[in-house]
Chains A and B, each alone.
Chain A
Amino acid sequence: MTIKKKLFEIICLLLFLHVKMTATKVPEVRDITRIERIGAHSHIRGLGLDDALEPRQVCQGMVGQLAARRAAGIILEMIKDGHIAGRAVLIAGQPGTGKTAIAMGIAQSLGQDTPFTAIAGSEIFSLEMSKTEALSQAFRKAIGVRIKEETEIIEGEVVEIQIDRPATGTGTKVGKLTLKTTEMETIYDLGSKMIESLSKERVQAGDVITIDKATGKINKLGRSFTRARDYDAMGAQTQFVQCPEGELQKRKEVVHTVSLHEIDVINSRTQGFLALFSGDTGEIKSEVREQINAKVSEWREEGKAEIIPGVLFIDEVHMLDMECFSFLNRALESDLSPVLIMATNRGITRIRGTNYQSPHGIPIDLLDRLIIIATSPYSEKETRQILKIRYEEEDVELSEEALTVLTRIGLETSLRYAIQLISTAGVVCRKRGGTEVQVEDIKRVYSLFLDESRSSQYMKEYQDSFLFNETQAAQMDTS
């Protein structure tokens, strides 16, 4: 049975490949390359759930937080279906319990097609832009519009170009262009305009070209493989392509996804499209936004566009003030609204800009609209696993004992501090010529770098010798 099943899968695969080549092409174009350095959450590949949305203990870089991940998985499914819009989720928990990790996991499992915008709560405060403008831009960045472009093209390999010049030197040139695909071959008569653009593109026999039927624009795709040995000396940038298959005159359909914000920017007249280069978009008038909303909904009714509600993630949401929260209340109710995910590590605290106390530093009326996911501190075993994933990610070898010591440190101080020690210990280890980080290396960096509690201990002891010390230690106020 298993062999049969295997065979069946292989056949399916072959069939798939075969059909894929022949089916009408609808390639998805998205050429945003993400340059990834080793960031704090670079090891996260997804939420680590199985098909039944049950979380695996260790999977895709996620460890523990089973309940929170299961909850996030359900929300993820709702987002993927695209049916919910204007919902908001709050991820709440102590510092270092994986709130951002869960948000990153959601972002990773959404895939390329769903827009995901991440901002930090403090990012919206700027002199050039009002807070609400920054927020609405973030909102609109998180909504994608899917559109389709359709062009009739002639695609083929150039077999021959023949250009007749009149004997007098002046007058109209005429010519012939022979194009072929694997299935067919035909001759086109050329006018003087076409000849001009062909010679401008330096098209010669053996090139694979496309001609846009509507505009007559010629595009060189590369040289055909069969002509690869025509010349020995070839520029390094010469690209070789297969001779096209099928019919010569094709219909090409390309699906693009753009965000509402991008459409806003090109239509914001005072800025022009130059704004896209400088990145300085300034404020966008609400009339422009309304016009665009109208246009997009018109397209949607005509079946020309699909709206993809994406995800807006606001980290450190307690940094928003009262005005922002009331704006969020309002913005969530619009029909073009993404799913809002917020994260905070605050307990009952003052709402920024007011004297009112509220859970998570968020007004009660907004809290009422939220689904709240709680994260809890990691256990010893989970801490150990996270550290293990991290040292693999950072390319540092760690001995068993060193890992145990590090886990201890992680539990007693903080997980972030322990993760910091991995790379620093790695450097110390390399300096002494070792390949594997030992307990001594950990001890050394532990003595070199203070964690938060030891640092504050030190402060308390040597308070008097620092400058500007105030004897009465004021409570830290971040709001």
Chain B
Amino acid sequence: MEASTERVLRYLAEVEEAAEDVLADKQQIVDLDVRRNRNREALNALRRDAEMSDEDKIKVCFGSMFIKLPKKTTRQMIHKDQEQLDKEICDIRKRLKVKVNRLNELQGKPELKGFNLSPLSRDEMKAINQVLKR
């Protein structure tokens, strides 16, 4: 009796841990996407006032401080950040798949069908869509 309770608890903890892991990754994607969208808005704002030349300085907010930076540098900076974010989100998504699979396994659920397939290209999908969208 005692031993089985112990085992159930340990198992539960394990499942809970895996689930928490998945949720944390999920949240991280959301946080990164928030940043990505803010960057995108900033880039749009930079593009919008066309009368400013590349050498003009603009105010950029770093944490709790505003710093004047040339427009060109700012744009490059944001672009770099954006690329980094895209890569990170992609990585997390890849990791997430493995984690979800592990969680399913722990819970004794069947593996999701076609989970590990790589996607078809656009042209190939176009052909298949003819079958699907009757």
Residues of chain A touching chain B, judged by Cβ–Cβ distance below 8 Å, are 1, 4, 8, 11-12, 15-16, 18-19, 22-24, 26, 28-29, 113, 146-150, 183-184, 186-187, 189, 214, 246-249, 251, 253, 255-256, 258, 262-263, 265-267, 273, 276-277, 299, 302-306
- In the complex, what distance in Å separates the CA atom of A16 from the CA atom of B16? 10
* Smallest CB separation, B82 vs chain A (Å): 12
Across the interface, A253 reaches (CB within 8 A) one of B1, B119, B125, namely B119
Q: Which A residue's beta carbon lies closest to that of B116?
A: A303
B39 CB to nearest A CB, Å: 10
Name B118's contact: one of A15, A29, A148, A256 (CB within 8 Å): A148
Asked whether any CB of chain A lies closer than 8 Å to the CB of B120, the reply is: yes
With A113-B113, A277-B134 already in contact, 12 other A-B pairs whose C-beta atoms are closer than 8 Å:
A1-B4, A15-B16, A19-B23, A23-B100, A24-B100, A184-B34, A186-B40, A247-B30, A249-B37, A251-B93, A255-B114, A305-B117
| B26 is an interface residue with CB less than 8 A from chain A | yes
| In the complex, B65 has a CB within 8 A of chain A | no
A selection of 9 A-B contacts at a CB cut-off of 8 Å is: A19-B100, A146-B114, A186-B40, A187-B41, A246-B30, A249-B37, A255-B117, A267-B127, A303-B118
Rounded to whole angstroms, the CA-CA distance of A251 and B90 in the bound complex is 10
B119 and A148: CB pair below 8 A?
Answer: yes
How many A-B residue pairs have C-beta atoms within 8 angstroms? Tell me. Answer: 123
Q: Could you say which residues of chain A place their CB within 8 Å of the CB of B30?
A: 183-184, 246-247
Contact of B1 among A1, A18, A150 (CB under 8 A): A1
Determine how close the nearest CB of chain B comes to the CB of A454; give it in whole angstroms.
49
Instruction: Find out whether the CB atom of A146 lies under 8 angstroms from the CB atom of B130.
Output: no
- Report how far A240 CA is from B41 CA in the complex, Å: 29
B33 CB-CB contact with A under 8 Å:
yes
6 tightest CB-CB pairs across the interface, nearest first? A150-B119, A247-B33, A255-B114, A186-B37, A148-B117, A262-B131
Pairwise interchain contact A26-B112, C-beta atoms closer than 8 A: yes
Asked if B117 and A146 make an inter-chain contact with CB atoms under 8 angstroms apart, the answer reads yes
Query: B33–A248 contact, CB under 8 A?
Result: yes
| Chain B residue contacts of A276, Cβ below 8 A | 130-131, 134
The A contact surface, by secondary structure, is mixed
A22 touches B23 (CB 8 A): yes
Q: Decide yes or no: A255 and B113 within 8 Å by CB, A1-B1, A8-B8, A189-B44 being known contacts.
A: yes
Contact with A along B1-39 (1 / 0, CB 8 A): 100110010001001100100110010011011101110
* Identity of the chain A residue whose Cβ is nearest the Cβ of B45 in the assembled complex: A189
Partner of B117, one of A19, A24, A266, A304: A304
Interface centre among A183, A247, A253, by most B CB within 10 Å? Answer: A247
Which of B12, B93, B97, B119 is within 8 Å of A149, CB to CB?
A: B119
Inter-subunit contact B107/A149 (CB<8 Å): no
Task: Evaluate contact between B37 and A248: CB separation under 8 angstroms.
Answer: yes
A306 and B118 CA atoms in complex are apart in Å by 10
The distance in angstroms between the C-alpha atoms of A12 and B11, with both chains bound, is 11
Chain B contacts of A248 at CB under 8 A?
33, 37
Provide the residues of chain A in CB contact with B41, threshold 8 Å: 186-187
A304–B114 CA distance with the chains assembled, in angstroms: 9
- Cβ–Cβ contact B130 & A15, under 8 A: no
Contact of A146 among B37, B113, B125 (CB under 8 A): B113
Bound complex: CA A166 to CA B127 (Å): 42
**In whole angstroms, how far apart are the Cα atoms of A306 and B115 in the complex?**
11
Residues of B within 8 A of A258 (CB): 128, 131-132
Chain A residues whose CB sits within 8 angstroms of the CB of B120 once the complex forms: 147-149, 299, 304-305
Q: A11, B19: Cβ atoms under 8 Å?
A: no
Residues A4 and B26 in contact, CB atoms below 8 Å apart = no
CA distance A15 to B108 in the complex (A): 13
CB-defined contacts of A24 to chain B, threshold 8 Å: 93, 96-97, 100
